[in-house]
């Protein structure tokens, strides 16, 4: 993998180095360690996600429109879920969301997660380890197992006999009806994949992996 122009794979050289260093730092984390985390992120749904498994949407931060969903998975099942209608998840909204978090929170380094207000005000006041939370490699959706939950979640509204006619209706289906159908076993399967993800990053020296 050394000597390869990482721009061809969508991973910049500096990002590759960051991913490699991060993976080595957490290479000794056990399943018990990872099960203490709330694995969180946000995604967007417009109720018309018909991509096949081999197709991937661009992972773009800050895209507005449709319904923005934020939630997390835990070792005991799906965590609190919320949506923001006609907007995006900025730092103020993110602070409001964090009021429901009880364990270490995984942040994917989106701007709303790393702003001054989020860093200095909320995390420090609530006794979280900012170093632990904020050093997650940027632009690394393959490291976040919740990405594998978003796909089936966004597909589920398509199984209804009629499509939602409003964003509020889509929100109702995604959060109230579908999100909490995910089971402890289903969430645990993805959380327990973290050691393998770390190993894959180390093997590729920070480069692309199957995840």
What 3-state DSSP class applies to 175? helix
- Average pLDDT of the segment spanning 165-171: 80
Inter-residue contact 149 to 178 (CB < 8 Å): no
Q: Does residue 18 register a pLDDT over 60? A: yes
| Per-residue pLDDT reduced to its tens digit, 67-116 | 778 788 888 898 877 766 555 556 665 666 565 544 444 454 445 444 54
Q: What is the CATH number of domain 40-191?
A: 3.30.420.10
In terms of pLDDT, which residue wins out, 38 or 150?
Answer: 150
CA distances from 137 to 3, 71, 134 (A): 21, 19, 9
pTM above 0.85, yes or no: no
CATH 3.30.420.10 residue ranges for the chain: 40-191
For residue 22, what is the enclosing H or E element? helix 13-25
| Per-residue pLDDT reduced to its tens digit, 182-192 | 999 999 999 99
- Average pLDDT of the segment spanning 3-7: 36
Q: Nearest 5°: phi and psi at 99?
A: -60, -20
Residues 166, 171, 174, 178, Cα dihedral to 10°: -100
């Amino acid at each position: 993998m050394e000597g390869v122009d990482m721009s061809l794979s969508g991973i910049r050289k500096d990002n590759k180095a960051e991913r490699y260093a991060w993976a080595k730092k957490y290479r000794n984390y056990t399943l018990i360690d990872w099960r203490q985390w709330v694995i969180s992120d946000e995604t967007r749904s417009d109720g018309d996600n018909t991509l096949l498994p081999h197709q991937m949407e661009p992972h773009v931060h800050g895209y507005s429109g449709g319904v923005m969903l934020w939630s997390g998975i835990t070792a005991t099942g799906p965590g609190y879920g919320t949506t923001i209608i006609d907007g995006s998840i900025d730092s103020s909204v993110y602070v409001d969301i964090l009021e429901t978090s009880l364990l270490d929170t995984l942040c994917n380094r989106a701007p709303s997660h790393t702003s001054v207000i989020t860093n200095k005000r909320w995390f420090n006041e609530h006794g979280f380890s900012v170093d632990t939370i904020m050093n997650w490699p940027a632009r690394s959706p393959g490291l976040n197992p919740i990405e594998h939950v978003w796909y089936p979640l966004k597909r589920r509204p398509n199984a209804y006999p009629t499509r939602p006619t409003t964003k509020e209706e889509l929100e109702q289906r995604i959060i109230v009806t579908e999100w909490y159908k995910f089971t402890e076993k289903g969430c645990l399967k993805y959380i327990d994949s973290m050691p393998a993800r770390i190993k894959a990053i180390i093997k590729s020296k920070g480069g692309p992996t199957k995840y």
